[in-house]
Structure 1
Amino acid sequence: MHGRLYNELVLEIAISPRTPLIIKSGEKAGIDPARPDMEFVRTTRRNAHGEPEDTLYIPGSSLRGVLRAHAERLLRSLRDDLACQITDQSCIKRKDLKESEISGARAYREACYACRLFGNTAIASRLQIGDLYPHRELEPLTETRYGVAIDRVTGAVAVGPFQMETVTSALFLGRLVLRNFTVGQLGLLGAALLDIADGLVALGHAKSRGLGRVRLNFNWARFRFMQLPPDGNNGIVGIGALASEEIRRRYNLPSPDHHALDGFPQAQHEGLYHTVISREDADIRRWFETLAPLWVEEIEQGGISP
């Protein structure tokens, strides 16, 4: 299925902290007393003058992990088998299937709903998330927070004091790319993104202490579809409505797989694809709110069986 491009969403997001944020680096402070025990993760990039410098960033893998964990939480709220249990075997291994001996179509059919979207060792992910870097004109503000670990038996200090480098003000920009998706899969991704945007799901370390609540804004979105909705209405066209009957049957894709959206712009025909672009956060958010419940409908209508 990944050998063709049926539809695509490219989404640029902006993340800023509501509460102090720390995504820990894997490095240790060592013997340098000027460095905190827990540092925010950094990478080296060239600045506006072309000079290399260290900069804070949010790894795409960190955001992806939070999105998948929350999406799986939503799925299990409906039915346990819709997401692999991390303490058990994967959905493929649990069915005694050898990855090297099954086709891509069967691996997709046998996968749980979470793995169909985020991938596993047998099927590629539909979602790509790049690293998020600070806006070049807004230098991140950091502070050092201090803490101690308390022994719950004695009530005395067990470890500490220790220091954490947290970001209190910043604007991180990055992109998500979703390809060959069903309407339900787009809705599940939207539901997870909206919960992060609303501060219901936190990022990074020390979430139980109130850290990691963020604002998430949608800077722009670009949709591409091979065809327009068959009913002529403007809206999202999933792969189930775009693929051939043979592909739909082999991968057990939903049909019909399209959904009209109020205020969705008229698509522009560009080459092979019909393109829709929006730069309005409020519009993109409203579309995700409309699409968010549709993953439930897709499952209940036979998108995946127990």
Structure 2
Amino acid sequence: MGFRAITAQLVLRTPLHVGTGRATETVDDLLRRDAQGRILIPGTSLAGPLRAIATRLAPRLGSRSCQALQGGDFGSQICGCLTCRLFGDVTPQEDEKKGVASQVIIYDAPLDKNPEIAIRDGVGIDRVTGAAARKERLKFDLEVVPAGTIFSLRMEFDPNLTDERALQLLAVSLAEWEAGRGAVGGRVGRGLGAFTLQNIQYRDQKLDTIEAVVDFLKIGPGWTKQTGAGDWLATQSAATRKQAQLLSPVGDHSVACSWALTEFTLAAEGSFLINDPVRAGQGGFDHAPLLTAYERKGEPVLPGSSLRGVLRSQAERIARTLATHDAWGDNKRSSEERKREFSTSCPACNPLTTHTSTTHTSDAVASCNSFIKTLAPEKRRELEDRGAEDKLCLACRLFGSTWNGSRLRVEDAPLLPNTGKQKVMDFLAIDRFTGGGRDGAKFDAVALWQPHFRVRLFLENPEGWELGWLVLTLRDLHEGLTTVGFGAAKGFGRMTIQSPSITFGILHETDFPLPPAPEDESEDRQKLERAIVAREKLLTHRGTPSGLYQTIGYADSHKADWLDLADGWVQAFHRERRARPRAQEFTLQKDSYFTKIADQWLPDLYPVEVSA
């Protein structure tokens, strides 16, 4: 008989939202609270992400893959994998005697004192106008717990658990949280819920005598404040890391293979503003910058949702522009043929548009989600069981959709010290008839002047084409081809990228993302060969291990190798978008460029031209 537990501090790096689905007159989604009104993270909201990490890591420790990674209906079949033995069967059955319950109990994490709650606003952006999507009415707001808040994590596990592999799996899963690669709650892909696990203490107390039991009961809840084994996690992770390096790669991207972390400073060249309607109303201004609590004081912040929206919109624009160029072909093609080619090959949908089979109407570049809604019920159930990734466009695969979560997380970016002085600016619309000021069109804004934000992007199991697409998108952001935030037409939001860094984590050297081999001589073999050589060089300069992973980080001394590798990733993106035609049932019905206006084809009026 004994008692084993782990305690730690969960420190929010970005605001957190664990919602209830209930709305009030002031907010669309409330935070979860207990019966005493205390804000809390439910144990289920902690156990779910931890189990997900363990499920992907277990096959790299020699265990077979969990049923949860395979999809489909397994009926009464018990999985029995290492993860299910630790966290309980993924498909429990009442009449099945072979099933096991979870060996780990993760408790709710309430706050003794509620912090000052903030309201985070969000809005969808129309891809054509660049303004708020009024037709779709994608305006919403929700309560968030501010960054810097500390929750107390407590978990207990069966003292009779003797499976060393299960303990190692639990340790390396917690090591991911300790390294800052964890996220909990809702909208994690848009910057919320990122955290770091600190002060991890392991306690193993024998209760095999009456005296030991009495002493333990006398301590009561105070045991959580006693010092435990602070080196248990590091010891277990180091031993497991050596074991994982000896195993062959699994070649399955549904399990843990690698991750990419890039950090850079996003510097505004002039005025910058992400509007917070609540603060603007409190201050008497029409627009005011969004603040969040970092280190217990309000500081301006660049929300991950705002930056993610900019990145996705520009990535879509890049992909559709390249697809338009490919569809144009030579001058022998007719406009009808070009439209047909674009409709079957466009690699990026517009997530705010719709397609309706019942009325045979469709918006331009209709979203993948709207096509799925028109499928027959049996086909939709098949997608629910097996996943819809093969049907989705490249944009939905990378940035996510309602049918497929994203592996890319764009965190809230805090303001760097001594940057971003606030300035009050006045605006007045001009009457087009009189040339004077228009009555009632006066407004003002509190803007930040030349702020610098530290951005953090995290991509799990990156593929070469995904990295290449992000490289092109970030290049456009740096060169001013897209803006961030309010007032693009007024010169706001022009940004440049400074002090970039990139780190890869790999479990095996074959996990390092590399462009695929060319299938024919028409592709640029020299670029691929340079990328392969660059990867081999970089693999010889590994950094400090992080959790279960070996790391490879950017250094100026190897800049040429990183550039060759990035060039190979870009080639991989070009190859992927050409090699993945749209599913037949997802063929676009309408486009904003390949269309007729008054019986005249728009491409005939404005043909595709490529500048030198």
TM-score normalized with structure 1 length: 0.78
Match of 1:30, SS state, is: helix
Match of 1:187 among 468, 476, 479: 468
**CA distance in 2: counterparts of 1:119 and 1:163, whole angstroms:** 36
Counterpart position of 1:164: 445
> 2:256 matched to 1:5?
yes
Match of 1:260 among 514, 532, 537: 532
- C-alpha deviation, 1:161, in angstroms: 2.3
Match of 1:27, SS state, is: helix
**CA distance in 2: counterparts of 1:281 and 1:122, whole angstroms:** 42
Contact 1:11/1:218 (<8 A) preserved: no
> 2:559 matched to 1:283?
yes
Match of 1:196, SS state, is: helix
**CA distance in 2: counterparts of 1:171 and 1:282, whole angstroms:** 26
Give the AA of the match of 1:41. L
Q: Could you say if the C-alpha distance between residues 180 and 55 of structure 1 is closer, same or farther in structure 2, counting changes exceeding 3 Å?
A: same
- C-alpha deviation, 1:291, in angstroms: 2.9
Q: Could you say if the C-alpha distance between residues 281 and 60 of structure 1 is closer, same or farther in structure 2, counting changes exceeding 3 Å?
A: farther
Q: Could you say if the C-alpha distance between residues 45 and 106 of structure 1 is closer, same or farther in structure 2, counting changes exceeding 3 Å?
A: closer
> 2:361 matched to 1:117?
no
- C-alpha deviation, 1:131, in angstroms: 0.4
- C-alpha deviation, 1:225, in angstroms: 2.8
- C-alpha deviation, 1:153, in angstroms: 5.4
Give the AA of the match of 1:91. C
Match of 2:539, SS state, is: coil
Q: Which has the higher helix share?
A: 2
**CA distance in 2: counterparts of 1:72 and 1:261, whole angstroms:** 31
- C-alpha deviation, 1:146, in angstroms: 1.3
**CA distance in 1: counterparts of 2:303 and 2:415, whole angstroms:** 12
Q: Deviations over 1:124-159 (max 9, x none)?
A: 112101000012x32421212211123445655144
Match of 1:219 among 500, 522, 533: 500
- C-alpha deviation, 1:304, in angstroms: 4.5
Q: Deviations over 1:54-96 (max 9, x none)?
A: 1101000000000000000111113353112332242143143
Counterpart position of 1:210: 491
Q: Could you say if the C-alpha distance between residues 158 and 186 of structure 1 is closer, same or farther in structure 2, counting changes exceeding 3 Å?
A: farther
Counterpart position of 2:523: none
1:121-136 paired onto structure 2 within 5 Å: 121-135=402-416
Counterpart position of 2:183: none
1:1-306 paired onto structure 2 within 5 Å: 4-27=255-278, 29-30=280-281, 32=283, 35-46=284-295, 52-79=296-323, 81-85=346-350, 86-89=352-355, 90-95=367-372, 96-97=374-375, 101-103=382-384, 105-135=386-416, 137-152=417-432, 155-156=435-436, 157-229=438-510, 236-237=513-514, 259-260=531-532, 262=534, 265-267=538-540, 268=542, 270=545, 273-280=549-556, 283=559, 286=563, 287-288=565-566, 291-300=569-578, 302-305=579-582
**CA distance in 2: counterparts of 1:190 and 1:173, whole angstroms:** 18
**CA distance in 2: counterparts of 1:77 and 1:261, whole angstroms:** 31
Contact 1:223/1:275 (<8 A) preserved: yes
Which has the higher Rg, Structure 1 or Structure 2?
A: 2
- Bigger RCO (CA 8 Å, 6+ sep): 1
Structure 1 residue runs of 5 or longer lacking an equivalent are: 47-51, 242-255
Counterpart position of 1:245: none
Contact 1:127/1:179 (<8 A) preserved: yes
**CA distance in 2: counterparts of 1:105 and 1:213, whole angstroms:** 42
- C-alpha deviation, 1:293, in angstroms: 4.2
Contact 1:203/1:213 (<8 A) preserved: yes
In percent, how many aligned pairs have the same letter?
26
Contact 1:191/1:289 (<8 A) preserved: no
**CA distance in 1: counterparts of 2:439 and 2:556, whole angstroms:** 50
Which one is further off, 202-211 or 113-122?
202-211
Q: Could you say if the C-alpha distance between residues 216 and 93 of structure 1 is closer, same or farther in structure 2, counting changes exceeding 3 Å?
A: same
Give the AA of the match of 1:168. W
**CA distance in 1: counterparts of 2:420 and 2:404, whole angstroms:** 38
Match of 1:292, SS state, is: helix
- Size of the alignment, in residue pairs? 277
- C-alpha deviation, 1:227, in angstroms: 3.1
Contact 1:107/1:123 (<8 A) preserved: yes
- C-alpha deviation, 1:182, in angstroms: 1.8
Give the AA of the match of 1:88. T
Structure 2 residue runs of 5 or longer lacking an equivalent are: 1-68, 70-252, 324-341, 356-366, 518-527, 584-612
Match of 1:54, SS state, is: strand
Contact 2:514/2:568 (<8 A) preserved: no
Match of 1:175, SS state, is: strand
Q: Could you say if the C-alpha distance between residues 169 and 19 of structure 1 is closer, same or farther in structure 2, counting changes exceeding 3 Å?
A: closer
Contact 1:68/1:118 (<8 A) preserved: yes
Q: Could you say if the C-alpha distance between residues 195 and 146 of structure 1 is closer, same or farther in structure 2, counting changes exceeding 3 Å?
A: same
- Quote the RMSD (CA, aligned, Å): 3.2
TM-score normalized with structure 2 length: 0.41
Give the AA of the match of 2:532. A
- C-alpha deviation, 1:276, in angstroms: 0.9
**CA distance in 1: counterparts of 2:553 and 2:385, whole angstroms:** 32
- C-alpha deviation, 1:172, in angstroms: 0.9
Contact 2:269/2:496 (<8 A) preserved: yes
Match of 2:551, SS state, is: strand
- C-alpha deviation, 1:305, in angstroms: 4.0
